[in-house]
Structure 1
Amino acid sequence: MIVVTGATGALNGATVEHLLKRVPAEQIGISVRDPAKAQHFADRGVRVRPGSYEDPAALRHSFEGAEQVLLVSTNDPHADAAAQHKVGIEAAVEAGARRILYTSHQAASPDSLFAAAPGHAATEQLLADSGVVWTALRNGFYTHSLAWFLGPWRETGLIAAPADGPVSWTARADAAEAAAVILTDGQPVDGPVTLTARQAVTFDDIAAYASDVVGRVVKRVVVEDDQWVADKVRNGTPEPMARMMLGFFPAARAQCFAEVSPALTELLGREPRSVADQLADTDAA
Protein backbone atom coordinates (compact mmCIF):
# COMPACT_ATOMS: atom_id res chain seq x y z
CA MET A 1 0.00 0.00 0.00
CA ILE A 2 1.02 3.61 -0.68
CA VAL A 3 0.00 6.08 2.03
CA VAL A 4 0.03 9.80 1.30
CA THR A 5 -0.18 12.57 3.90
CA GLY A 6 -1.70 15.99 3.31
CA ALA A 7 -3.95 14.65 0.54
CA THR A 8 -6.55 17.38 1.05
CA GLY A 9 -3.92 19.91 -0.02
CA ALA A 10 -3.25 20.94 -3.61
CA LEU A 11 0.08 19.13 -4.05
CA ASN A 12 -0.50 15.71 -2.55
CA GLY A 13 -4.18 15.77 -3.47
CA ALA A 14 -3.08 15.97 -7.10
CA THR A 15 -0.58 13.17 -6.49
CA VAL A 16 -3.40 10.93 -5.23
CA GLU A 17 -5.43 11.72 -8.35
CA HIS A 18 -2.51 10.55 -10.47
CA LEU A 19 -2.05 7.46 -8.31
CA LEU A 20 -5.69 6.53 -8.94
CA LYS A 21 -4.90 6.44 -12.65
CA ARG A 22 -1.95 4.10 -12.08
CA VAL A 23 -2.93 1.64 -9.31
CA PRO A 24 -6.18 0.27 -7.85
CA ALA A 25 -7.78 2.48 -5.21
CA GLU A 26 -7.49 -0.23 -2.55
CA GLN A 27 -3.71 0.09 -2.81
CA ILE A 28 -3.84 3.75 -1.76
CA GLY A 29 -4.27 5.18 1.71
CA ILE A 30 -4.30 8.79 2.83
CA SER A 31 -3.62 10.40 6.20
CA VAL A 32 -5.42 13.71 6.74
CA ARG A 33 -6.32 16.02 9.60
CA ASP A 34 -10.00 16.05 8.67
CA PRO A 35 -11.25 12.85 6.98
CA ALA A 36 -14.52 14.59 6.06
CA LYS A 37 -12.59 16.73 3.61
CA ALA A 38 -11.32 13.56 1.90
CA GLN A 39 -14.73 11.95 1.40
CA HIS A 40 -14.34 12.28 -2.36
CA PHE A 41 -11.37 9.90 -2.13
CA ALA A 42 -13.13 7.52 0.27
CA ASP A 43 -16.06 7.31 -2.16
CA ARG A 44 -13.64 6.04 -4.80
CA GLY A 45 -12.23 3.28 -2.58
CA VAL A 46 -9.19 5.03 -1.07
CA ARG A 47 -8.51 4.24 2.58
CA VAL A 48 -8.88 7.45 4.58
CA ARG A 49 -7.63 7.73 8.17
CA PRO A 50 -7.00 10.70 10.46
CA GLY A 51 -3.44 11.70 11.19
CA SER A 52 -1.22 14.71 11.78
CA TYR A 53 2.31 15.49 12.90
CA GLU A 54 0.85 16.48 16.29
CA ASP A 55 -0.58 12.99 16.87
CA PRO A 56 2.03 10.20 16.51
CA ALA A 57 -0.41 7.44 17.50
CA ALA A 58 -2.88 8.49 14.82
CA LEU A 59 -0.09 8.63 12.26
CA ARG A 60 1.03 5.10 13.09
CA HIS A 61 -2.55 3.92 12.61
CA SER A 62 -2.93 5.80 9.33
CA PHE A 63 0.37 4.32 8.07
CA GLU A 64 -0.61 0.76 8.97
CA GLY A 65 0.25 -1.68 6.17
CA ALA A 66 2.13 0.91 4.11
CA GLU A 67 5.05 -0.17 1.96
CA GLN A 68 5.66 3.45 0.94
CA VAL A 69 4.74 6.65 2.77
CA LEU A 70 4.79 10.08 1.13
CA LEU A 71 5.23 12.82 3.75
CA VAL A 72 4.23 16.34 2.84
CA SER A 73 6.31 19.15 4.33
CA THR A 74 4.56 21.26 6.96
CA ASN A 75 2.95 24.49 5.78
CA ASP A 76 3.09 26.14 9.20
CA PRO A 77 5.70 28.93 8.96
CA HIS A 78 5.93 29.12 12.76
CA ALA A 79 6.50 25.39 13.35
CA ASP A 80 9.75 23.56 13.96
CA ALA A 81 9.54 21.83 10.59
CA ALA A 82 12.19 19.19 11.21
CA ALA A 83 10.65 18.26 14.57
CA GLN A 84 7.25 17.80 12.96
CA HIS A 85 8.67 15.76 10.11
CA LYS A 86 10.60 13.62 12.60
CA VAL A 87 7.26 12.52 14.04
CA GLY A 88 6.14 11.44 10.58
CA ILE A 89 9.38 9.63 9.82
CA GLU A 90 9.32 7.75 13.11
CA ALA A 91 5.67 6.78 12.62
CA ALA A 92 6.43 5.44 9.15
CA VAL A 93 9.38 3.44 10.45
CA GLU A 94 7.30 2.01 13.31
CA ALA A 95 4.54 1.10 10.86
CA GLY A 96 7.03 -0.93 8.84
CA ALA A 97 7.22 1.22 5.72
CA ARG A 98 9.96 0.11 3.34
CA ARG A 99 10.41 3.55 1.75
CA ILE A 100 9.69 7.09 2.93
CA LEU A 101 9.29 9.91 0.44
CA TYR A 102 9.27 13.58 1.38
CA THR A 103 8.30 16.76 -0.48
CA SER A 104 11.50 18.75 -0.12
CA HIS A 105 12.78 21.76 -2.07
CA GLN A 106 15.58 22.30 -4.53
CA ALA A 107 17.24 24.80 -2.20
CA ALA A 108 17.53 22.33 0.68
CA SER A 109 20.69 23.35 2.54
CA PRO A 110 21.49 24.11 6.18
CA ASP A 111 23.02 27.47 5.23
CA SER A 112 20.61 28.61 2.52
CA LEU A 113 19.28 32.17 2.61
CA PHE A 114 15.80 30.79 1.88
CA ALA A 115 14.00 30.47 5.22
CA ALA A 116 12.44 27.06 4.58
CA ALA A 117 15.59 25.43 3.21
CA PRO A 118 17.36 24.55 6.49
CA GLY A 119 14.24 22.71 7.67
CA HIS A 120 14.18 20.69 4.46
CA ALA A 121 17.89 19.91 4.83
CA ALA A 122 17.41 18.82 8.45
CA THR A 123 14.52 16.57 7.42
CA GLU A 124 16.62 14.98 4.70
CA GLN A 125 19.26 14.21 7.32
CA LEU A 126 16.60 12.62 9.53
CA LEU A 127 15.57 10.47 6.58
CA ALA A 128 19.17 9.45 5.96
CA ASP A 129 19.48 8.45 9.62
CA SER A 130 16.16 6.57 9.73
CA GLY A 131 17.46 3.21 8.54
CA VAL A 132 14.76 3.09 5.84
CA VAL A 133 15.35 3.77 2.15
CA TRP A 134 14.13 7.25 1.27
CA THR A 135 13.49 9.73 -1.50
CA ALA A 136 13.55 13.52 -1.16
CA LEU A 137 11.53 15.20 -3.91
CA ARG A 138 13.45 18.45 -4.30
CA ASN A 139 10.75 20.32 -6.17
CA GLY A 140 11.53 23.59 -7.90
CA PHE A 141 9.96 26.82 -6.70
CA TYR A 142 6.28 26.50 -7.61
CA THR A 143 5.20 28.71 -10.49
CA HIS A 144 1.83 29.63 -8.98
CA SER A 145 3.65 31.46 -6.18
CA LEU A 146 4.83 34.04 -8.72
CA ALA A 147 1.58 35.84 -7.99
CA TRP A 148 2.94 36.63 -4.52
CA PHE A 149 5.97 38.36 -6.00
CA LEU A 150 4.87 39.98 -9.24
CA GLY A 151 2.12 42.16 -7.81
CA PRO A 152 -0.69 43.68 -9.95
CA TRP A 153 1.41 43.80 -13.11
CA ARG A 154 -1.58 43.48 -15.43
CA GLU A 155 -3.07 46.70 -14.05
CA THR A 156 0.16 48.66 -13.64
CA GLY A 157 2.25 47.35 -16.55
CA LEU A 158 5.10 47.02 -14.04
CA ILE A 159 6.85 44.14 -12.31
CA ALA A 160 8.30 46.01 -9.33
CA ALA A 161 10.43 43.80 -7.10
CA PRO A 162 13.92 43.58 -5.60
CA ALA A 163 16.87 42.38 -7.61
CA ASP A 164 16.57 38.66 -8.27
CA GLY A 165 18.40 35.81 -9.95
CA PRO A 166 17.51 32.88 -12.21
CA VAL A 167 14.80 30.57 -10.86
CA SER A 168 13.68 27.26 -12.38
CA TRP A 169 10.00 27.95 -11.73
CA THR A 170 8.15 24.62 -11.73
CA ALA A 171 4.45 23.79 -12.05
CA ARG A 172 3.08 22.23 -8.88
CA ALA A 173 0.88 19.97 -11.01
CA ASP A 174 3.97 18.57 -12.74
CA ALA A 175 5.68 17.89 -9.41
CA ALA A 176 2.57 16.08 -8.19
CA GLU A 177 2.45 13.88 -11.26
CA ALA A 178 6.16 13.08 -10.99
CA ALA A 179 5.68 11.94 -7.38
CA ALA A 180 3.01 9.49 -8.52
CA VAL A 181 5.32 8.15 -11.20
CA ILE A 182 8.16 7.62 -8.72
CA LEU A 183 5.79 5.84 -6.32
CA THR A 184 4.54 3.40 -8.94
CA ASP A 185 6.96 2.91 -11.83
CA GLY A 186 8.94 0.07 -10.23
CA GLN A 187 12.23 1.97 -10.46
CA PRO A 188 12.33 3.98 -7.24
CA VAL A 189 14.71 6.89 -6.78
CA ASP A 190 17.04 6.75 -3.77
CA GLY A 191 18.03 9.90 -1.92
CA PRO A 192 17.38 13.41 -3.25
CA VAL A 193 16.06 14.02 -6.77
CA THR A 194 15.75 17.53 -8.19
CA LEU A 195 12.48 18.10 -10.05
CA THR A 196 12.46 21.38 -11.97
CA ALA A 197 11.40 22.94 -15.23
CA ARG A 198 13.94 22.92 -18.02
CA GLN A 199 14.93 26.58 -17.80
CA ALA A 200 15.80 29.06 -15.06
CA VAL A 201 14.55 32.58 -15.74
CA THR A 202 14.78 36.01 -14.15
CA PHE A 203 12.08 38.61 -13.59
CA ASP A 204 13.45 40.39 -16.68
CA ASP A 205 12.60 37.27 -18.68
CA ILE A 206 9.19 37.04 -17.03
CA ALA A 207 8.46 40.67 -17.94
CA ALA A 208 9.15 39.79 -21.56
CA TYR A 209 6.82 36.77 -21.38
CA ALA A 210 4.16 38.92 -19.73
CA SER A 211 4.48 41.52 -22.48
CA ASP A 212 3.83 38.84 -25.09
CA VAL A 213 0.80 37.56 -23.18
CA VAL A 214 -0.97 40.91 -22.80
CA GLY A 215 0.24 42.49 -26.04
CA ARG A 216 1.80 45.55 -24.44
CA VAL A 217 5.08 46.34 -22.73
CA VAL A 218 5.38 45.15 -19.14
CA LYS A 219 8.37 46.88 -17.56
CA ARG A 220 10.66 45.34 -14.96
CA VAL A 221 11.50 47.80 -12.18
CA VAL A 222 14.04 47.00 -9.44
CA VAL A 223 13.16 48.32 -5.99
CA GLU A 224 15.13 48.20 -2.77
CA ASP A 225 14.41 45.30 -0.44
CA ASP A 226 13.04 47.45 2.39
CA GLN A 227 10.90 49.48 0.01
CA TRP A 228 9.36 46.28 -1.35
CA VAL A 229 8.47 45.17 2.18
CA ALA A 230 6.98 48.57 2.96
CA ASP A 231 4.88 48.46 -0.22
CA LYS A 232 3.60 44.98 0.64
CA VAL A 233 2.66 46.04 4.16
CA ARG A 234 0.91 49.15 2.86
CA ASN A 235 -1.14 46.93 0.56
CA GLY A 236 -2.27 44.68 3.40
CA THR A 237 0.40 41.97 3.77
CA PRO A 238 1.41 41.42 7.42
CA GLU A 239 4.99 42.54 7.91
CA PRO A 240 6.28 39.14 9.17
CA MET A 241 4.87 37.52 6.03
CA ALA A 242 6.36 40.21 3.80
CA ARG A 243 9.80 39.78 5.38
CA MET A 244 9.56 36.01 5.01
CA MET A 245 8.73 36.48 1.32
CA LEU A 246 11.61 38.95 0.99
CA GLY A 247 14.04 36.12 1.80
CA PHE A 248 13.34 34.69 -1.64
CA PHE A 249 15.25 37.51 -3.32
CA PRO A 250 18.70 37.26 -1.69
CA ALA A 251 18.44 33.48 -2.10
CA ALA A 252 17.67 33.91 -5.79
CA ARG A 253 20.55 36.39 -6.13
CA ALA A 254 22.80 33.72 -4.59
CA GLN A 255 21.71 31.24 -7.30
CA CYS A 256 19.84 29.02 -4.81
CA PHE A 257 17.06 28.31 -7.32
CA ALA A 258 19.06 28.32 -10.55
CA GLU A 259 19.59 24.57 -10.82
CA VAL A 260 17.76 22.76 -13.61
CA SER A 261 17.46 19.02 -13.99
CA PRO A 262 16.19 16.69 -16.74
CA ALA A 263 14.62 14.36 -14.16
CA LEU A 264 11.15 15.92 -14.27
CA THR A 265 11.03 15.73 -18.06
CA GLU A 266 12.15 12.11 -18.00
CA LEU A 267 9.57 11.12 -15.39
CA LEU A 268 6.70 12.88 -17.16
CA GLY A 269 7.69 11.77 -20.64
CA ARG A 270 7.03 15.30 -21.86
CA GLU A 271 8.22 18.85 -21.39
CA PRO A 272 7.26 20.37 -18.04
CA ARG A 273 5.12 23.49 -18.07
CA SER A 274 6.98 26.78 -18.28
CA VAL A 275 6.46 30.22 -16.78
CA ALA A 276 5.23 31.40 -20.19
CA ASP A 277 2.62 28.60 -20.16
CA GLN A 278 1.47 29.61 -16.69
CA LEU A 279 1.12 33.29 -17.59
CA ALA A 280 -0.80 32.46 -20.76
CA ASP A 281 -3.18 30.14 -18.90
CA THR A 282 -3.79 32.66 -16.15
CA ASP A 283 -4.48 35.40 -18.68
CA ALA A 284 -6.89 33.17 -20.60
CA ALA A 285 -8.75 32.37 -17.38
Structure 2
Amino acid sequence: MVTVSAASGALGRLVIGQLLTRLPAGRIAVAVRDPARGAGLAALGVDVRHGDYDDPASLRLAFRDAERLLLISSPELAPDRRIRQHLAAIEAAAANGVRAIAYTSFLGADRGGEGMNAAHHVTEQAIIDSGLEYTMLRNPFYSDAFINLGLRSAVESGKLTSGTGGRGLNTALRADLAAAAANVLTDDAHLGHGYDLTGPLWTYPELAEVLSETTGKKVDHHEATDETPGPMGFLMGLAWSGALERQTDDLRRLPGRPPASLRHAVANALSLD
Protein backbone atom coordinates (compact mmCIF):
# COMPACT_ATOMS: atom_id res chain seq x y z
CA MET A 1 0.00 0.00 0.00
CA VAL A 2 1.23 3.49 -0.90
CA THR A 3 -0.18 6.21 1.36
CA VAL A 4 -0.11 9.94 0.62
CA SER A 5 -0.63 12.41 3.44
CA ALA A 6 -2.25 15.84 2.98
CA ALA A 7 -3.52 14.44 -0.31
CA SER A 8 -6.48 16.79 -0.74
CA GLY A 9 -4.20 19.70 -1.65
CA ALA A 10 -3.14 20.63 -5.18
CA LEU A 11 0.14 18.69 -5.13
CA GLY A 12 -1.38 15.66 -3.43
CA ARG A 13 -4.15 15.29 -5.98
CA LEU A 14 -1.65 15.45 -8.82
CA VAL A 15 0.48 12.78 -7.15
CA ILE A 16 -2.56 10.51 -6.82
CA GLY A 17 -3.35 11.05 -10.48
CA GLN A 18 0.17 9.94 -11.37
CA LEU A 19 0.05 6.95 -9.04
CA LEU A 20 -3.19 5.76 -10.64
CA THR A 21 -1.29 5.36 -13.90
CA ARG A 22 1.18 3.07 -12.14
CA LEU A 23 -0.79 1.18 -9.48
CA PRO A 24 -4.30 -0.23 -8.99
CA ALA A 25 -6.49 2.16 -7.00
CA GLY A 26 -6.84 -0.46 -4.29
CA ARG A 27 -3.13 -0.14 -3.50
CA ILE A 28 -3.37 3.61 -2.83
CA ALA A 29 -4.55 5.29 0.36
CA VAL A 30 -4.74 8.95 1.29
CA ALA A 31 -4.70 10.64 4.68
CA VAL A 32 -6.69 13.87 4.74
CA ARG A 33 -7.88 16.21 7.48
CA ASP A 34 -11.42 16.24 6.05
CA PRO A 35 -12.38 12.95 4.34
CA ALA A 36 -15.29 14.72 2.62
CA ARG A 37 -12.72 16.53 0.49
CA GLY A 38 -11.49 13.18 -0.75
CA ALA A 39 -14.85 12.07 -2.14
CA GLY A 40 -13.60 12.34 -5.71
CA LEU A 41 -10.64 10.11 -4.92
CA ALA A 42 -12.88 7.60 -3.14
CA ALA A 43 -15.01 7.41 -6.28
CA LEU A 44 -11.88 6.27 -8.14
CA GLY A 45 -11.34 3.44 -5.67
CA VAL A 46 -8.68 5.14 -3.54
CA ASP A 47 -8.91 4.41 0.20
CA VAL A 48 -9.65 7.78 1.83
CA ARG A 49 -8.76 7.97 5.52
CA HIS A 50 -8.94 10.63 8.22
CA GLY A 51 -5.43 11.77 9.06
CA ASP A 52 -4.84 15.12 10.77
CA TYR A 53 -1.29 16.35 11.37
CA ASP A 54 -2.50 17.84 14.66
CA ASP A 55 -4.04 14.52 15.78
CA PRO A 56 -1.30 11.87 16.15
CA ALA A 57 -3.84 9.12 16.93
CA SER A 58 -5.57 9.73 13.59
CA LEU A 59 -2.23 9.43 11.77
CA ARG A 60 -1.53 6.05 13.37
CA LEU A 61 -4.86 4.80 12.01
CA ALA A 62 -4.43 6.51 8.63
CA PHE A 63 -1.01 4.95 8.00
CA ARG A 64 -2.04 1.36 8.75
CA ASP A 65 -0.92 -1.21 6.16
CA ALA A 66 1.25 1.40 4.44
CA GLU A 67 4.49 0.14 2.94
CA ARG A 68 5.43 3.55 1.57
CA LEU A 69 4.41 7.01 2.70
CA LEU A 70 4.60 10.30 0.87
CA LEU A 71 4.81 12.87 3.65
CA ILE A 72 3.68 16.10 2.00
CA SER A 73 4.90 18.95 4.15
CA SER A 74 2.33 20.77 6.24
CA PRO A 75 1.13 24.16 4.96
CA GLU A 76 1.64 25.51 8.48
CA LEU A 77 4.13 28.40 8.42
CA ALA A 78 5.05 28.51 12.12
CA PRO A 79 8.19 26.33 12.35
CA ASP A 80 7.50 24.94 15.84
CA ARG A 81 4.01 23.72 14.97
CA ARG A 82 5.13 22.43 11.59
CA ILE A 83 7.91 20.43 13.22
CA ARG A 84 5.48 18.93 15.76
CA GLN A 85 3.15 17.91 12.93
CA HIS A 86 5.91 16.28 10.91
CA LEU A 87 7.39 14.47 13.91
CA ALA A 88 3.94 13.08 14.71
CA ALA A 89 3.68 11.75 11.16
CA ILE A 90 7.14 10.16 11.31
CA GLU A 91 6.34 8.52 14.65
CA ALA A 92 3.05 7.20 13.27
CA ALA A 93 4.86 5.80 10.24
CA ALA A 94 7.41 4.01 12.41
CA ALA A 95 4.68 2.64 14.69
CA ASN A 96 2.89 1.17 11.67
CA GLY A 97 5.98 -0.46 10.22
CA VAL A 98 6.07 1.79 7.15
CA ARG A 99 9.13 0.72 5.17
CA ALA A 100 10.01 3.98 3.46
CA ILE A 101 9.10 7.68 3.59
CA ALA A 102 9.38 10.15 0.75
CA TYR A 103 9.27 13.71 2.05
CA THR A 104 8.50 16.90 0.12
CA SER A 105 11.22 19.11 1.52
CA PHE A 106 12.63 22.34 0.06
CA LEU A 107 15.80 23.24 -1.80
CA GLY A 108 18.67 23.82 0.61
CA ALA A 109 17.09 22.06 3.60
CA ASP A 110 20.01 19.64 3.77
CA ARG A 111 22.45 22.54 4.01
CA GLY A 112 21.01 24.15 7.13
CA GLY A 113 17.89 25.16 8.99
CA GLU A 114 17.74 28.90 8.54
CA GLY A 115 14.52 30.84 7.87
CA MET A 116 11.84 29.01 5.92
CA ASN A 117 13.95 25.84 5.87
CA ALA A 118 13.99 25.45 9.65
CA ALA A 119 11.20 22.87 9.79
CA HIS A 120 12.35 21.07 6.65
CA HIS A 121 15.88 20.65 8.02
CA VAL A 122 14.63 19.22 11.32
CA THR A 123 12.16 16.94 9.52
CA GLU A 124 14.82 15.54 7.18
CA GLN A 125 17.08 14.76 10.12
CA ALA A 126 14.22 13.16 12.06
CA ILE A 127 13.42 10.89 9.11
CA ILE A 128 17.07 9.83 8.86
CA ASP A 129 17.25 9.26 12.62
CA SER A 130 14.04 7.16 12.56
CA GLY A 131 15.86 4.33 10.82
CA LEU A 132 13.21 4.13 8.10
CA GLU A 133 14.28 4.09 4.48
CA TYR A 134 13.72 7.44 2.83
CA THR A 135 13.88 9.69 -0.19
CA MET A 136 14.08 13.48 0.14
CA LEU A 137 12.33 15.48 -2.56
CA ARG A 138 13.63 19.03 -2.21
CA ASN A 139 11.18 21.08 -4.22
CA PRO A 140 11.67 24.63 -5.51
CA PHE A 141 9.00 27.33 -5.46
CA TYR A 142 6.04 26.44 -7.64
CA SER A 143 5.95 28.04 -11.09
CA ASP A 144 2.20 28.30 -10.53
CA ALA A 145 2.83 31.16 -8.08
CA PHE A 146 4.34 33.26 -10.88
CA ILE A 147 2.86 31.89 -14.10
CA ASN A 148 -0.92 31.87 -13.77
CA LEU A 149 -4.13 33.47 -14.99
CA GLY A 150 -3.01 36.74 -13.40
CA LEU A 151 -0.71 37.20 -16.39
CA ARG A 152 -3.75 38.07 -18.50
CA SER A 153 -3.64 41.57 -17.04
CA ALA A 154 -0.06 41.94 -18.31
CA VAL A 155 -1.20 40.84 -21.76
CA GLU A 156 -4.10 43.32 -21.69
CA SER A 157 -1.90 46.22 -20.55
CA GLY A 158 1.14 45.22 -22.60
CA LYS A 159 3.29 45.63 -19.50
CA LEU A 160 4.86 42.99 -17.24
CA THR A 161 6.55 44.32 -14.12
CA SER A 162 8.94 42.50 -11.81
CA GLY A 163 11.49 43.28 -9.15
CA THR A 164 13.95 40.53 -10.01
CA GLY A 165 16.66 42.53 -11.74
CA GLY A 166 16.43 40.13 -14.66
CA ARG A 167 17.81 37.27 -12.55
CA GLY A 168 16.72 33.67 -13.16
CA LEU A 169 14.06 31.62 -11.38
CA ASN A 170 14.35 27.83 -11.06
CA THR A 171 10.68 27.18 -10.30
CA ALA A 172 8.80 24.04 -11.38
CA LEU A 173 5.18 23.17 -12.08
CA ARG A 174 3.38 21.07 -9.48
CA ALA A 175 2.56 18.57 -12.23
CA ASP A 176 6.26 17.86 -12.85
CA LEU A 177 7.00 17.57 -9.13
CA ALA A 178 4.05 15.20 -8.74
CA ALA A 179 5.39 12.97 -11.52
CA ALA A 180 8.77 12.87 -9.78
CA ALA A 181 7.13 11.93 -6.46
CA ALA A 182 5.09 9.13 -8.03
CA ASN A 183 8.20 7.69 -9.63
CA VAL A 184 10.03 7.71 -6.30
CA LEU A 185 7.11 5.98 -4.57
CA THR A 186 7.12 3.11 -7.05
CA ASP A 187 10.84 2.46 -7.56
CA ASP A 188 13.27 1.17 -4.92
CA ALA A 189 16.21 2.66 -6.82
CA HIS A 190 15.53 6.03 -5.18
CA LEU A 191 15.75 4.87 -1.56
CA GLY A 192 18.48 6.59 0.42
CA HIS A 193 18.72 9.52 -1.98
CA GLY A 194 17.98 13.22 -1.73
CA TYR A 195 16.97 15.06 -4.90
CA ASP A 196 17.28 18.79 -5.51
CA LEU A 197 14.48 19.50 -7.96
CA THR A 198 14.67 22.57 -10.18
CA GLY A 199 12.83 23.52 -13.34
CA PRO A 200 14.36 25.20 -16.40
CA LEU A 201 15.79 28.60 -15.46
CA TRP A 202 13.66 31.50 -16.73
CA THR A 203 13.57 35.29 -16.33
CA TYR A 204 10.82 37.88 -16.39
CA PRO A 205 12.16 39.46 -19.60
CA GLU A 206 11.89 36.00 -21.19
CA LEU A 207 8.39 35.62 -19.77
CA ALA A 208 7.37 38.88 -21.45
CA GLU A 209 8.70 37.58 -24.77
CA VAL A 210 6.84 34.28 -24.42
CA LEU A 211 3.62 36.09 -23.52
CA SER A 212 3.99 38.19 -26.65
CA GLU A 213 4.64 35.17 -28.86
CA THR A 214 1.89 32.95 -27.46
CA THR A 215 -0.85 35.59 -27.38
CA GLY A 216 0.13 37.69 -30.39
CA LYS A 217 0.01 40.83 -28.23
CA LYS A 218 3.17 42.79 -27.50
CA VAL A 219 4.17 42.62 -23.83
CA ASP A 220 7.16 44.60 -22.56
CA HIS A 221 9.01 43.88 -19.35
CA HIS A 222 9.61 46.73 -16.88
CA GLU A 223 11.71 46.61 -13.75
CA ALA A 224 9.78 47.78 -10.69
CA THR A 225 10.89 51.05 -9.15
CA ASP A 226 9.12 50.33 -5.85
CA GLU A 227 9.30 47.25 -3.66
CA THR A 228 6.56 44.73 -4.42
CA PRO A 229 4.34 44.31 -1.35
CA GLY A 230 3.39 41.06 0.35
CA PRO A 231 4.62 37.51 -0.24
CA MET A 232 5.36 38.18 -3.90
CA GLY A 233 7.73 40.93 -2.84
CA PHE A 234 9.62 38.39 -0.73
CA LEU A 235 9.89 36.04 -3.70
CA MET A 236 10.99 38.84 -6.01
CA GLY A 237 13.68 39.76 -3.50
CA LEU A 238 15.00 36.21 -3.42
CA ALA A 239 15.17 36.15 -7.21
CA TRP A 240 16.90 39.56 -7.33
CA SER A 241 19.57 38.24 -4.94
CA GLY A 242 20.26 35.27 -7.22
CA ALA A 243 18.98 32.79 -4.63
CA LEU A 244 16.69 31.06 -7.15
CA GLU A 245 19.25 30.34 -9.86
CA ARG A 246 20.57 27.00 -8.62
CA GLN A 247 20.21 24.26 -11.25
CA THR A 248 20.33 20.45 -11.16
CA ASP A 249 19.25 17.72 -13.57
CA ASP A 250 17.23 15.80 -10.96
CA LEU A 251 13.78 16.90 -12.15
CA ARG A 252 14.64 15.77 -15.66
CA ARG A 253 15.88 12.37 -14.50
CA LEU A 254 13.23 11.42 -11.94
CA PRO A 255 10.10 11.43 -14.13
CA GLY A 256 12.15 10.29 -17.13
CA ARG A 257 11.16 13.32 -19.18
CA PRO A 258 12.10 17.01 -19.31
CA PRO A 259 10.14 19.35 -17.03
CA ALA A 260 7.72 21.76 -18.68
CA SER A 261 9.21 24.63 -20.65
CA LEU A 262 8.33 28.26 -19.98
CA ARG A 263 6.29 28.32 -23.19
CA HIS A 264 4.28 25.27 -22.11
CA ALA A 265 3.73 26.71 -18.63
CA VAL A 266 2.44 29.99 -20.07
CA ALA A 267 0.15 28.28 -22.57
CA ASN A 268 -1.22 26.01 -19.84
CA ALA A 269 -1.74 28.88 -17.40
CA LEU A 270 -3.61 30.93 -20.00
CA SER A 271 -5.54 27.84 -21.16
CA LEU A 272 -3.92 28.02 -24.61
CA ASP A 273 -2.52 24.49 -24.51
Tell me if TM exceeds 0.5.
Answer: yes
Distance 1:42 1:163 in 2: 43
Q: 1:179 deviation in Å?
A: 0.8
Query: Please, which of 233, 253, 271 is the counterpart of residue 240 of structure 2?
Result: 253
Q: Any conservation in 2 of the 1:174–1:273 contact (CA below 8 Å)?
A: yes
Q: Deviations over 1:228-268 (max 9, x none)?
A: 21xxxxxxxxxxxx1x3322123223333222222222232
2:18 matched residue in structure 1: 18
Gaps in structure 1 of 5+ consecutive residues: 230-241
Q: Which amino acid aligns with 1:210?
A: L
Distance 1:22 1:103 in 2: 20
Matched-pair identity in %: 34
Taking the TM superposition and a 5 Å limit, the aligned residue runs for 1:189-268 are: 189-197=191-199, 199-224=200-225, 226=227, 228-229=228-229, 242=230, 244-268=231-255
1:66 matched residue in structure 2: 66
Distance 1:157 1:141, change over 3 A: same
Q: Any conservation in 2 of the 1:30–1:48 contact (CA below 8 Å)?
A: yes
1:124 matched residue in structure 2: 124
Distance 1:254 1:13, change over 3 A: same
2:170 matched residue in structure 1: 168
Distance 1:225 1:248, change over 3 A: farther
Q: Which amino acid aligns with 2:131?
A: G
Q: Does 1:45 align with 2:45?
A: yes
Indicate the larger mover: 30-39 or 139-148. 139-148
1:84 matched residue in structure 2: 85
Q: Any conservation in 1 of the 2:170–2:247 contact (CA below 8 Å)?
A: yes
Q: Which amino acid aligns with 1:266?
A: R
Q: Which amino acid aligns with 2:206?
A: D
Distance 2:244 2:191 in 1: 22
Give the structure-2-normalised TM-score.
Answer: 0.88
Task: Report the secondary structure of 2:76's partner residue.
Answer: coil
Distance 1:138 1:90, change over 3 A: same
**Count of equivalent residues:** 268
Q: 1:143 deviation in Å?
A: 1.4
Q: Which amino acid aligns with 1:166?
A: G
Distance 1:185 1:200, change over 3 A: same
Query: Please, which of 246, 262, 265 is the counterpart of residue 275 of structure 1?
Result: 262
Give the structure-1-normalised TM-score.
Answer: 0.85
Q: Deviations over 1:93-128 (max 9, x none)?
A: 22211111111222435466xx53333223222222
Q: Any conservation in 2 of the 1:150–1:160 contact (CA below 8 Å)?
A: no
Distance 1:189 1:217, change over 3 A: farther
